[in-house]
Amino acid sequence: MALLAKTSDRQQAMDIQSDKFNGNSSDGKGVYSQNVVVTQGTLIIHADTATVISRDGEPSQATFIGKQVTLRQQQDDGTWMDGVADRIDYDAQNDVLTFTGNYTITSPKGSSSGQHMTYDTKTGNVQAGGDGSRVHTVLKPRAAQGTATVGQPQQVPSTTPQGTTPAPTTPDKP
């Protein structure tokens, strides 16, 4: 399931809001806690705790922890990717996201869930599993992509001719 994050987001400022902050300017490490909301362009992350390490005045690493951390980001094709996990690590220097613990990623192209996944936002390369857990992926056919969010029920058109009543059904008898 290829995903390509919005390229222009990487050029935007990272905006962090929280109820509490504890940081040290000498080591560039800041810990944000309680009701953390991070935005960067179209990227939106909600977490219980965010630890951000800056190098040369720019965020270089961030770790988001919660039950569960949520992430939403527009892709270059205009569609949206949604993700949840117990922990999300972001390597800003290499543009790599790592989802750990009960992750689920959904997009119009399909979904993936498991315990561990690494996602390169530049190339769209995804690596999942390898830790002894199973990975579950659903790939939607091209004709169905973008018609509904993965996991939402689809309405099935009735095959009963208009003006008629469908025949009653009876339970099977043993």
CA distance 3 to 122: 9
Task: Provide the pLDDT for residue 92.
Answer: 85
Q: Is the dihedral of CA 81, 88, 18, 30 positive or negative?
A: negative
Could you tell me if 59 and 10 are in contact, meaning their C-beta atoms sit under 8 angstroms apart? Answer: no
pLDDT tens sequence across 133-169: 899 999 989 876 655 444 443 443 444 444 444 444 4
**Domains in the chain: ranges and CATH:** 7-144 (2.60.450.10)
Task: Provide the pLDDT for residue 123.
Answer: 83
The residue-averaged pLDDT of 16-39 equals 93
Residue in 7, 59, 50 with CA at minimum distance from that of residue 28: 59
Contacts of 70 (CB under 8 A, 6+ apart): 45, 46, 47, 82, 83, 84
> pTM score, two decimals?
0.74
